[in-house]
Amino acid sequence: MKSLPYHLRSNKAVDRYMFIEVLKHVVSHHPKRATYQYIGMGGPFLEDLKVVEHYFPDMPLVSIEEEAEVVKRQEFHRFKRNVTLLHETDEEFVTKMKDDTLVALWFDYLGREPSDFQNFGNAVKKAANWSVLRITLNAKFSETPEFRRQFYEDFAQILPVDWESYFEDANKFALMLQKMVQTVTLPSPMAGYDFHIVNSSSYRDGAPMLTVTGIKCADADWKEIKNLFAKWPFLTRAWNNTPGHINVPELSLQERMHLGAVLPTTSKRPGHRLHRRLGYCIANCETSAANDLENYAAFARYFPVFARLAM
């Protein structure tokens, strides 16, 4: 059976709304908020652009796509005049990108290539301060010596010094990818700015994925920006922090309504609270069910409703 389309994947949808939450915290506080533009890889349905437009209706929207046939499909799904569809690669876009461009940018990759890191790092360097930039990478991991050898050959120049210690498990490996993003976004000495991580998430979207979101800002502005996230529960406080995990369970509309009656909950064990509320197990064991439901409790407000329409 084919996997769900991009726009119907629950974990991806939650991750998408994490980006919106970051933008809500930052864009409205910038004195030139009207000059932000969104840059993304919209895919055939332009789904991320639609979500950004819903919350920021006046923000110019740009989609980058290298496949000509996909661009034609995007033209069919273009939902607003201010959506610009560019038939070019991410590298071509970054090369043309003007210095000090104020952006909300998301390079959403399916794979994990050295050029992905390089292009993202170059975009950060060209972006204006207070820009929000995000990268999604394939986080597939293997314990085999062959995987480790090939990974070293591909990424030796940006690996942390203790890179071998990150091959213990998938979580450590995701953290290493996060630190590699940090490496390619490091400013030159005396640049007067830094790229600060504010959110990172690992999740399954057909394959294991990692998304890292950060803000470029002048050193003097970081305290102000950090304070904007003081009460946000999904803040990633430092590059050394393990990425948060998104793993929302597939629930029916009836189940969601039933659980919604007790959400949000102040329970110290929200997963067990929701498990008892349902009265049956939604996973292969009670522990797994409680873990999945605890994740749902955390992200329920960002969990979209998918419904089948009778025709």
Query: pLDDT per residue over 93-114, tens digit each?
Result: 999 999 999 999 999 999 999 9
Whole-angstrom Cα distance, residue 266 to residue 27? 30
SS3 199: strand
Give Cα 164 to chain centroid, integer Å: 26
pLDDT-derived band at 118 (thresholds 50, 70, 90) equals very high
Average pLDDT over residues 252-271: 91
Q: Which residues contact 214 (CB under 8 A, 6 or more apart)?
A: 124, 132, 133, 134, 181, 185, 195, 196, 197, 198
CB 142 within 8 A of CB 213: no
Write down the pLDDT at residue 8.
53
Whole-angstrom Cα distance, residue 213 to residue 215? 7
Label residue 74 left, alpha or beta by phi (over 0 means left) and psi (-120 to 50 means alpha): alpha
Write down the pLDDT at residue 128.
97
pLDDT-derived band at 305 (thresholds 50, 70, 90) equals low
Write down the pLDDT at residue 1.
35
Confidence (pTM)? 0.91
Whole-angstrom Cα distance, residue 119 to residue 181? 11
pLDDT for residue 5 is more than 70: no
For the chain, domain boundaries: 6-246, 253-302
- Give 268's DSSP letter: S
- Mean pLDDT (the chain) is 93
pLDDT-derived band at 250 (thresholds 50, 70, 90) equals confident
Q: Decide yes or no: CATH 3.90.230.10 for domain 6-246.
A: no
pLDDT, one tens digit per residue, over 55-83 is 999 999 999 999 999 999 999 999 998 89
pLDDT, one tens digit per residue, over 26-48 is 998 998 999 999 999 999 999 99
CB 63 within 8 A of CB 89: no
Write down the pLDDT at residue 6.
45
47 vs 3, higher pLDDT: 47
CB 248 within 8 A of CB 303: yes
The closest of 127, 133, 97, 119 to 191, measured between CA atoms, is: 127
Write down the pLDDT at residue 167.
96
